[in-house]
Structure 1
């Protein structure tokens, strides 16, 4: 009876939505590479079958998953899905191996590229002619999605497949480049090639660099975006952010990740395990007001430090109250995230000399031992930062050859 009385109201509301577009996702300012592919580039497949390297971030501006969108086109043959760290749905914690399985929704095999096997094998590529890579990166060398892309490119070269990278924005922009270039002695899956920590490139630009400068030599095609330029931050694209991993829930987190993601092995907690991962910096008993005062006195561009306390709800410090600072990025276009990480480390160790460094972990995170050694020698932040400038200048020269978008 109640439903019968409400039925005309519900029908009118449904009509209102259909007429006004209420509830629809507004059109973005940027046309993503996957949308260019779905609109037109797919014709160039000429009947060849694809395998898709993706996860939960591989969506169009309307938040349609790339695999679902491809399956809507009866002329595209799709054979397999490949998933990176955190899995196809992005629900696995950092560093956890992910198993392969068959996707119940599509019936397609999902091959994990974050487990014992990080490069697709011949068996995984059976029946696939073209690999499509559609994953949202965060603009930081240590984030493993670009390493997965490199391994997929190597497999494409080895097994004579084509690879098309469906380009996406760098959420923290394409203008600021900072941090040490990777020292090859510290090569790992969180840093395969000698690029800067904050590289200021899109995944498509990186793919071109990896392919040509670092000798992969795959049959590569970058499907470019339309409307993106280097000064754009994520919030200027009109796109919706999909959590890229459990500790990168918002696009704003990508601003601080290249900063506080570099301090935990230097002995300073970064808030992972709280509702604000990567927005904190501190330790058990850290004098919060002194830490904030010293950092704010440095007048670092684009950031303010608030004295803060927090208690992680998982991890080593679960249930313990830590103190230090909360980072407020006041001017994202000016915020120097990697340089700020050095300031946090230097000030933190000055205030609390008992902070313990995980030498191997810190060197792997930074891609060099120079930062750790400078910290242990008591060097200033400026001295440590100046030490990486020659290698950074060489990277900038190389980078200029592979930029696909204007300022």
Structure 2
């Protein structure tokens, strides 16, 4: 039976991973399993959803496919773009790939979903993006919108699966889809879903979550050598503000700060590895956001922020752990002098309802808040179990 990882096991896993050196050597992503999918693409007109993470060893997937004679007609680009990395939230423009000349259509602009004309001359859409396992990471929503377009237009959707670096646990509040559905959350799932994109696509199909309950013609090229206990180190950064594994492990806990006055370190050399604001009392640690790669206009630009230093969270054993850490955001709320202006409207969008904000304001502890998630997490875990492809 497929099970979630306990806190004791996660410690053992990390020790094993550290002592084993490069544990990724025996693992193959879906994109690397060319023998499995190239025969399926012969004679097909292909579109690809890809970005800088879509690599087959050291060669981009698009370049690999072209070298094998695959007929790529179109490329779809998610947030941050196709080959390059644009700032968070930057509108991605359509154009053409400077390397191959193939047309690139942005799915991070006013258009978030392919239209029928985009797919008119396409037989199969390939999806190959690296996820980090959270509800609010926008590649997940992009995948679901493309699935929906394929289902509506009778096209096959093929996922080249990749490991989830936060795939060893499930945690967080469940999204209230009646009131808080958005591009950073469209399904009734927790913040950390513990699934690969291939598994999640199966769940979307199986649970009838596409518009009108339609089903997509789905094919998943699974990974080999991967389990949900694998502590997978990303070979390519998934987005400009997740520059290392420390930030990837902290992201599920620190992303809530985007809905507050706090900076999470955008505009520094350590995004998603610190928390702070100018009004927080001096803690002995400070940082000053400045325009930089991935953040041209960061929150609190040029102003010194005081707060929490998590740059050594991995080395200090704070992450990876199989749970969201609420203590940091609660500590910052309690330290902030102007509590009425600590949260903004985006917090509820990220949390999936107003409940978490209300719980923090009421003075509930992290333990008490986590207890309120138990029933929803149990329901989701039972659903998730049906669609797991890996132990």
Q: What is the TM-score with the length of structure 2 in the denominator? A: 0.86
| 1:272 paired residue among 259, 266, 270 | 266
CA positional deviation for 1:333: 6.7
Contact 1:288–1:325 under 8 Å retained in 2:
no
SS in 1 for 2:117: coil
Higher relative contact order (CA 8 A, sep 6+): 2
Shift, 1:391, TM fit: 1.1
For residues 126-165 of structure 1, the aligned pairs below 5 Å read 126-165=120-159
What secondary structure sits across from 1:196 in the alignment? coil
SS in 1 for 2:191: strand
Which residue of structure 1 aligns with residue 329 of structure 2? 345
Larger radius of gyration: 1
User: How far off is 1:225 after superposition?
Assistant: 0.5
Determine the C-alpha separation between the residues in 2 that align with 1:308 and 1:181: 34
Q: Structure 1 residues 386, 79: CA separation in 2 closer, same or farther (over 3 Å shift)?
A: same
| Among 212, 226, 229, the residue aligned to 1:228 | 226
Q: Does 1:393 align with 2:370?
A: no
Equivalent residues, number: 355
* Residues 92 and 108, structure 2, Cα contact 8 Å, conserved in 1: yes
Residue 65 (str. 1) matches residue 48 (str. 2): no
Shift, 1:45, TM fit: 2.9
Please state if 1:56 is matched with 2:52.
yes
Structure 1 segments (4+ residues) deviating >6 Å: none
Q: 2 CA distance for matches of 1:333 and 1:317? A: 27
Cα deviations by residue, 1:247-301 (Å, 9 ceiling, x for unpaired): 1122332101111111232332211111000110122242454xxxxxxxxxxxx
Give the superposition deviation at 1:46.
4.3
With structure 1 as the length reference, what TM-score do the two structures score? 0.83
1:311-332 CA distance string (max 9 Å, x none) = 1113231222111111113347
User: 1:371 and 1:27 mapped to 2: Cα distance?
Assistant: 37
Which position in structure 1 is the counterpart of 2:286?
309
Aligned-residue offset at 1:386: 1.7
Paired residues of 2:187 and 2:209 also in contact (CA < 8 A): no
Aligned twin of 1:93: 87
Which residue number corresponds to residue 294 of structure 1?
none
Corresponding residue for 1:323? 306
* Residue from 327, 333, 354 that aligns with 1:369: 354
C-alpha contact (below 8 Å) 1:49/1:78 kept by paired residues? yes
Match of 2:13 in 1: none
Task: Identify if the C-alpha distance between structure 1 residues 46 and 332 changes in structure 2 by more than 3 Å, giving closer, same or farther.
Answer: farther
- For residues 88 and 360 of structure 2, the distance between their equivalents in structure 1, rounded to whole angstroms, comes to 27
Alpha-carbon distance in 1 for matches of 2:24, 2:235? 14
Shift of 1:358: 3.5
Does structure 1 residue 379 correspond to structure 2 residue 356? no
Q: Cα deviation per residue 1:156-201 (whole Å; 9 max; x = unaligned)?
A: 00000000000000012x2211101111121101001011101111
2:238 aligned to which of 224, 233, 244: 244
Q: Offset at 1:404?
A: 0.5
How far apart, CA to CA, are the structure 2 residues paired with 1:348 and 1:268?
8
Separation in structure 2 between the aligned mates of residue 33 and residue 123 of structure 1, nearest angstrom = 28
Shift of 1:375: 1.6
Give structure 2 stretches of 5+ with no counterpart: 1-21, 292-297
Contact 2:36–2:221 (CA under 8 A) maintained in structure 1: no
Q: For residue 106 of structure 2, what is the aligned residue in structure 1?
A: 112
Q: How much does 1:214 deviate?
A: 3.3
Whole-angstrom distance in 2 between the partners of 1:69 and 1:121: 27
Query: Of 15, 31, 44, which aligns to 1:34?
Result: 31
Rounded Cα–Cα distance in structure 2 between residues aligned with 1:70 and 1:182: 38
Q: Root-mean-square deviation (CA), in Å? A: 1.9
